[in-house]
Structure 1
Amino acid sequence: MAKIVKKSPIPLYGAAAVWLLWAVFLPMYALWHFALVAAASLLVWFGLKKLCPDKVLNLPDPESQPEPEPQPEPARQAPEDPIAAERARALSELRRLDDNIEDEKISAQIVHMEEVTGKIFDIVAGQPAKLPQIRRFLNYYLPTTLKLLNAYDRMGSAGVEGANIDGTMGRIDAMMDKVVQAFDKQLDALFADEALDISTDITVLEQMLAREGLGGMQMGQS
């Protein structure tokens, strides 16, 4: 333990006060006057020293303190995959709209779009090079479709009829067939490269079989 002595300033102030008071009220022009005031100030200093002793503070030795244990670094979270996040958000919103909208036709269309949307995201997740092919789908077709369906849901929940509500809901209803077709075409377009490769393989295979004289053979013939 480290000891620190904290001296009280009161005895010093008391001795100084004796000199000040003597100078104000008593003569100080002879040598013995100074001797008397010096003796009086010493007596006051010793008296106050006993009344106000110095304080001894015991402080812990810094070297004896245990070193703090190193804290483990917080686990770093893997960056969120934006495609996976958008997939989850879109499918969750489509399910909610399906639950809210009572119209059977639109509800069935929403279920179909949910299935197609999930397949589109799954293909891009497995083949990131196809992401540019669905940029317009991600940035316009999907969010705009969700916006229209949300408007249909809100207007249908209003519980009133009117030219604005009925007209807007009717236009959205009529538009949904084209929207479903657009979703289907987007999914189909992702298979364009694969379809071309397969078509090329089939053509080459047919030519090779024809050259070998096997083009007209039926399964099971020798």
Structure 2
Amino acid sequence: MREVKVKSVIPVYIIGLVWLLCSSIFPMYRWYDLVIASGIAFLAYKVASKLFRPKTVLVEEEPEPINTGNKELDEVLTTGTAYMSELNTLNMNIPNIQINKQVDEMMRISRSIFDFITKNPTEVRQIRQFMNYYLPTTINLLKEYDEFRKQGTRNESITKAMKKIEGVLDTIVIAFNRTLDDLYEDKVLDISVDIEVLEKMIKDESY
């Protein structure tokens, strides 16, 4: 995100208004009438610009293309970044403290998963289900919830659907956590094997 200053359009409208007023007061076919009107319009613009200062707004920057040298990893990280952005937007739109906490936790776990596969690119295929099902399905459910929330009147079906979505979010958090645990379980297993081999080599050399 970066800050951008956006000028107010009001000073421009004021210039137009000044010219309309001047044309109703002065004949405007004499050169000095045009000079007077221009001077008044310029002064009005300066005053209006002081009163209606540019607003500072935050605009989203285009993310830098991800290039790790591993095409499969790049695709996963690029898609993951887009999913995270969607989750964050939905989380800001939904005014529900409990859901906000759950989505915050999902995003925290997701970041840990992406950090892990960035450091261990050979494990990228282990998160296929997470990428192809867990994340997109979660986003779709939250989108539906947000749409239901915006309904002016809620019937029984909508209320039940919203309750079901609220109820399944804890299960989704557990599924996210399980994905992360599975990644580290494989890593721990590899470390255990390395330690066993090392201990065996040291033991063999001692004889």
- Provide the TM-score with structure 2 as the length reference: 0.57
Q: Tell me what 1:89 maps to.
A: 82
**RMSD across aligned positions (CA):** 2.8
2:123 pairs with 1:130: yes
CA apart distance, 1:78: 7.3
Matches within 5 A, 1:1-222: 81-200=74-193
Post-superposition Cα deviations, 1:60-85, rounded to whole Å, max 9, x if no partner, equal: xxxxxxxxxxxxxxxxx978632231
Q: Is the contact between residue 83 and residue 125 of structure 1 (CA under 8 Å) also seen in structure 2?
A: no
| Partner Cα separation in structure 2 for residue 79 and residue 141 of structure 1 | 22
Q: Which has the higher helix share?
A: 2
Q: Is the contact between residue 66 and residue 78 of structure 2 (CA under 8 Å) also seen in structure 1?
A: no
| Partner Cα separation in structure 2 for residue 124 and residue 145 of structure 1 | 21
Q: Choose 128-137 or 170-179, whichever is displaced more.
A: 128-137
Q: Secondary structure at the match of 1:97?
A: helix
| Partner Cα separation in structure 2 for residue 127 and residue 207 of structure 1 | 26
| Partner Cα separation in structure 1 for residue 92 and residue 152 of structure 2 | 17
Query: Which one has a bigger Cα radius of gyration?
Result: 1
Q: Tell me what 2:26 maps to.
A: none
- Percent identity among equivalent residues? 39
Consecutive unaligned residues of structure 1, counting only runs of 5 or more, are 1-76, 209-222
Consecutive unaligned residues of structure 2, counting only runs of 5 or more, are 1-63, 68-73, 202-207
TM-aligned CA distance change 1:78 to 1:156, over 3 Å: closer
Task: Count residues in correspondence.
Answer: 135
| Partner Cα separation in structure 1 for residue 134 and residue 79 of structure 2 | 14
Post-superposition Cα deviations, 1:109-139, rounded to whole Å, max 9, x if no partner, equal: 0001011111212222222211211111111
